[in-house]
């Protein structure tokens, strides 16, 4: 009985992982915690990071984990982000993010409008 239960749990895990594989997850470096917040001037020093799903739906806001781009890049990779939006990026961080499979997009305006524009650019 224990084996069947473990096998079922493993199958559910694999199935849910496959269902979410390849979906875009957009991160926006922002000056506030809501989708209406302004996109922050730099990804590495933003106070918050907002996450949106592949349909542009707001998922969550988190306090940025650090004040440097490398820390933020590692955090974004762990969270499964495929795109990061900020007003600007340093040249080093763009290369680091590219190496982690994260596309850097420069945008000025609100986080919600940034996500709409990213999704339009597909």
Structural domain contains residue 93: yes
Structural domain contains residue 2: no
Count the helices and strands in the chain (H runs, E runs): 4, 5
Q: Residue 122 has what pLDDT?
A: 62
Structural domain contains residue 60: yes
Predicted model pTM: 0.80
Residue 30: which of 108, 119, 121 has the closest Cα?
A: 108
Q: Residue 75 has what pLDDT?
A: 95
Residue ranges making up the domain that contains 28:
23-120
Q: How many domains does the chain have?
A: 1
Q: Residue 27 has what pLDDT?
A: 98
Q: pLDDT tens-digit profile of 39-55?
A: 999 898 899 999 999 99
53: CATH: 3.30.420.130
């Amino acid at each position: 009985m224990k084996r069947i239960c473990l096998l079922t749990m493993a199958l559910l895990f694999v199935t849910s992982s496959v269902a979410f594989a390849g979906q875009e997850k957009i991160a926006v470096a922002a000056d506030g915690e809501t989708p209406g917040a302004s996109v922050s001037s730099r990804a590495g020093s933003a106070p918050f990071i907002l996450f949106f799903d592949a349909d542009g739906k707001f998922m969550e806001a988190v306090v940025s984990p650090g004040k440097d781009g490398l820390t933020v890049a590692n955090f974004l990779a762990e969270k499964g982000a495929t795109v990061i939006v900020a007003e600007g990026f340093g040249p080093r961080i763009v290369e680091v993010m590219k190496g982690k499979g994260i596309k850097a997009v420069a945008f000025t305006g609100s986080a919600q409008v940034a996500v709409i524009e990213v999704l339009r650019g597909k």
